[in-house]
Amino acid sequence: MNTGEGVPMASISSGDSSMRVGLQVLHRRWWILVLTIVLASGAAAGASLVMRPVYQASATLIADKNPPVVLLTGTGRAGSGLFEQQPVSEAPDVATLVELVKSRAVREAAARRLSSTLDAARADTALRQVLVSRVGDTDVVQVSVQDSDPHVAATAADAVAAAAVDMDLEARRRFATTARRFIGEQLGAAEQRLRADETAMVAFRDQNHEVSLSDQTQLNLRKLADLEQQRFEVQLAEQALRESPSDPGGTVTPPPGTIQQVPVDPVVAGLRTQLAALQVELAGLRKQFTPVYPVVIATQAKIQETQRRITAELAQRQAALADRESELSRAINGIDDQLRSVPTLEATLAGLTRDTQAAERDYTLLFERYREAQIAEGSVGSAVRIVDVAKVPETPVRPKRELDTVLGAMFGLFVGVLGVVAVEQIDGSVKSPGEVERLLGVPVLALVSELDMRNRDDKHRRQKAKQSLDLRSSTVEIFRLLRTRILRIMHDSTVHCVLVTSVAPQEGKSVVAAHLAVAIATLGLRVWLVDCNPRHPTLGSFFPEADSPGLFAFLGGEETIDSVVRETAYPGLQCVLAGPVAPNSAEQLGASTMLQFLSQARERADVVVLDGPAFQHNADAEILGPLADVTVVVAQSKRTNRDALASTCVDLQRSGGRVAGVVLNRAANR
C-alpha cells in the first residue's frame, strides 16, 4: 500500500495556454456562436429592410471677409468714411455664422420659404433634422438636412442656406437704410438753416452797402471756420467714446445724432479681437467643465485683464481728445476776442458771414454723406454666400444594410462569446484533458471513445461488451497506451494492485478495468481482474464464461479463493466476479478477509486490477483506495462534474490512496 501522490506530468499541464483553452471552449460551443451571429445579423438585416430610409442633403456657406458694399472715404480730418468699420462692412466669424444658421429665426424663415411647396407640418418635420457644422479648419459651414424624401431634404437644405443669406443681408441693409434716413433728415434741417443765413446776409448787405470785411477779419473767419470744424469732429469722437462699451466687436458705433464713424485705435481693435477669441474659448470650456475648473478660472482672468486694458486704452484716448478740444476752444475764443474788437457793423457782418459759412459747411458735409449713404445702401450685399447648393441624394445615410448586417454579426459574435462563457460556467462538467490536468494536478492517462452500453437489455450489453474486448477493435491502441503508462508506474515502484473507480455510476470504469486487464495480459503477465462493486457488478457482461460464486462469497467464508477464480478466453487473464451479493456485502470490503484475498492475489498474480464501485455517495471506493497501490479515476467527458472529480481525488489521497491519473471516457483523442 502506497500513499504517495500521483505521477506529475507538468509538461502536459504547462502546454495548455489560456488562449488554447479559450479556443477549445469556443470550438466545443461553436453552435452558440453560429446561432447568435445568424440571429443578430439576420435581425439587423431585417430591421434595415423594414426601416424607412433617411436621406441627407447638404449645402455649404461661407462668410466673405470683404462683403459686397461700396465704401466712400470721407474728406474730414477724422479720416474714415461713413460705413468704414461698421457692421455693414463686417462679416460674421465662423462660430457666429454657425449659431446664426442654427437660430430659430433662420428656421422660421426657411419654413416660410418651404410653404410654397410643402404644408406647414411637413416643413416643420423636415427642418427638425438640421445639422450645422464647420468643415474642418476652414471658414466653410455645412448645412445638412435629413429626411425620408431626398427631394425634400435637398429643398430644405437650400431653404435654410438661403434664409441665412437673407437674414444677414437684411441686417446689413437695415443699418445702411437707417443711416441714410437719419442723414436725410439732418440734410433738410441744414438746408433750411443755410437758406435762412443766406437771406439774413443778403438783407444786411442791402442795408449797408459800404460795409465790408477787412483782410484780417476774413483771415480770422477762415481760421475760425477751420478750428470749429476740427472741434466738431473731436466732440463727435468724445461722444462716441463715452457711449461705446468695451465690447469685443472691434468697432465704436456712433450714438444717435452723429453722422461720422470714429476710427478705432489699432491697439484697441487688437485687444477687442483678443477678447472675442477668449470669450469664444470660455463658452466652449463651460460646456465641458465646471465653473471652478482651473482652465475656466484662468480664461476668465484673461478676459478680465483684456477688458481692463481696453478700458484703459479708451480712457487714455478720451483724455487726449479732451485735451485737444480744450486747445481748440482756447484758439476759437482768442479769434472771437479779435472779432469783437472790430467796428460794430463789421462785427455784425463777420457774424453773419461766420453763420453762413458754418451752415454751408454743414450742408455740404451732410450732402456728401447722404450721397454716400445712397450708394452704400444700393450696393450692400450679404456677407454670407452660398458656395454649393444641395444635391438630391441618391443613397440614404441610414439604414446601411451591409454595414448594419456586419455590425449585427459583430454584436452576435460578442453575445455569442458571452453566451459561451456563461454556458461554460453553468456547465460544471469536465471536457478536455488540459482542464483535468489543471484542475487536479495529475495526468490524463488515456482518452477513450467507449461504446455506449447504458440503458440496454442484458443480452445486448453482453454482445457489445464482447465486441469491445476484441483485440482487433479500434480501442485496443488506446488501452495499450494506458497499459504502458501503468506499467511505467509499476516499474518505478512496487505497484501490483490497481484500483479503477469513477465519480458516479455508468461513467465507464468497468470498461476501462476490463480493457486494461486484457491489455496487460497480452504481454504475458499474470493478471487478476476482480469485480469489487457490490452494488452494480458489471464484469459479468464482459466475461460470461467466468461466472462463479465470486468475491463476496469468498469474503463471506462460503468459498475458497480457488473456487472463485476463473479462467477467461484471454491467456494470462483470470477473473473474479462479484458473484451473489448479500445485503452486507459492502461492509465485507473493509473486513480482514479482503486483506487476505489481496495478499493471496499479489502472490499468485503479477498485476491485480480491481473494478471498484463509484466514489460519489459511496464509502466502498474510499475503503478500497488505501488497499490498492495506485488508483485510476475514470471520468466521462461532458458528464462528470469537475468539482466532484476534484473532491474524489482529494478524498482518495486523504484516505491514503494514490491517484495515478485520470482516464477521460467518451472523449476525442488529442
Please give the Cα distance from 78 to 80 (Å, whole number): 6
Asked if 586 contacts 535 with a C-beta cutoff of 8 angstroms, the reply is yes
Overall size of the chain counted in residues: 670
For 186-201, how does the pLDDT look when each residue is reduced to its tens digit (9 = 90+)? 888 888 888 888 888 8
The most confident of the ranges 146-150, 268-272, 539-543 is 146-150
Confidence of residue 472 (pLDDT cuts 50, 70, 90): low
Residue 582: predicted pLDDT? 67
What is the rounded average pLDDT of the residues 170-184?
78
Count Cβ atoms within 10 A of the Cβ of residue 411 and give its class: 0-12 exposed, 13-18 middle, 19 or more buried: middle
Residue 585: predicted pLDDT? 64
Asked if 396 contacts 53 with a C-beta cutoff of 8 angstroms, the reply is yes
* Secondary structure letter of residue 390 according to DSSP: P
Strand ranges across the sheet with 130-134: 130-134, 140-147, 55-63, 384-388
Written as one string, the DSSP assignment of 458-496 is HHHHHHHHHHHT-TTSTTHHHHHHHHHHHHHHHHHTT--
Residue 199: predicted pLDDT? 87
Mapped to the 3 state alphabet, what secondary structure does 243-299 carry? HCCCCCCCCCCCCCCCCCCCCCCHHHHHHHHHHHHHHHHHHHHHHHCCCCCHHHHHH
For 350-398, how does the pLDDT look when each residue is reduced to its tens digit (9 = 90+)? 777 878 877 888 788 778 878 877 777 777 777 788 888 989 988 888 8
The label of the residue with cell 435629413 reads 146
Confidence of residue 16 (pLDDT cuts 50, 70, 90): very low
Does residue 5 surpass a pLDDT of 70? no
444-448 and 384-388 beta bridge pairing: unpaired
Please give the Cα distance from 24 to 649 (Å, whole number): 25
Residue 66: predicted pLDDT? 60
The label of the residue with cell 438661403 reads 162
Nearest CA-CA partner of 238 in 220, 258, 266: 258
Residue 558: predicted pLDDT? 85
The answer to pTM > 0.85 is no
Nearest CA-CA partner of 578 in 632, 617, 542: 542
What is the rounded average pLDDT of the residues 37-42?
87
Residue 236: predicted pLDDT? 61
Confidence of residue 473 (pLDDT cuts 50, 70, 90): low
130-134 and 630-636 beta bridge pairing: unpaired
Main-chain dihedrals φ then ψ at residue 508, nearest 5 degrees? 95, 15
The most confident of the ranges 115-119, 214-218, 496-500, 531-535 is 496-500
Residue 128: predicted pLDDT? 84
Residue 317: predicted pLDDT? 84
Half-sphere exposure of 649 (CA within 13 A, CB side): 26
Does residue 94 surpass a pLDDT of 70? yes
For 270-299, how does the pLDDT look when each residue is reduced to its tens digit (9 = 90+)? 787 788 778 877 877 887 788 888 888 998
Q: How far is CA 61 from CA 94, 152, 389, in A?
A: 10, 19, 9
Least confident of 24-33, 260-269, 322-331, 371-380: 260-269
- Which residue did the predictor score with more confidence, 23 or 342? 23
Helix or strand or coil: residue 634? Answer: strand
Across all residues in the chain, what is the average pLDDT? 77
C-alpha cell recorded at residue 107: 428656421
Please give the Cα distance from 26 to 493 (Å, whole number): 41
Residue 243: predicted pLDDT? 53
Half-sphere exposure of 229 (CA within 13 A, CB side): 21
Cα distance from N-terminal residue to C-terminal residue, the chain? 33
Confidence of residue 481 (pLDDT cuts 50, 70, 90): confident
Nearest CA-CA partner of 530 in 468, 573, 593, 481: 573
Does residue 70 surpass a pLDDT of 70? no
Main-chain dihedrals φ then ψ at residue 181, nearest 5 degrees? -65, -45
Does residue 468 surpass a pLDDT of 70? no
For 598-615, how does the pLDDT look when each residue is reduced to its tens digit (9 = 90+)? 989 988 999 999 998 888
> Could you tell me what percent of the chain has a pLDDT over 90?
6
Does residue 47 surpass a pLDDT of 90? no
The label of the residue with cell 441624394 reads 393
Does residue 318 surpass a pLDDT of 70? yes
Chain centre to alpha carbon of residue 348 = 87
Q: What is the residue type of 286?
A: R
* Secondary structure letter of residue 542 according to DSSP: T
- Which residue did the predictor score with more confidence, 472 or 150? 150
Ranges of beta strands (E only) in 466-605 are 497-502, 527-531, 566-567, 573-576
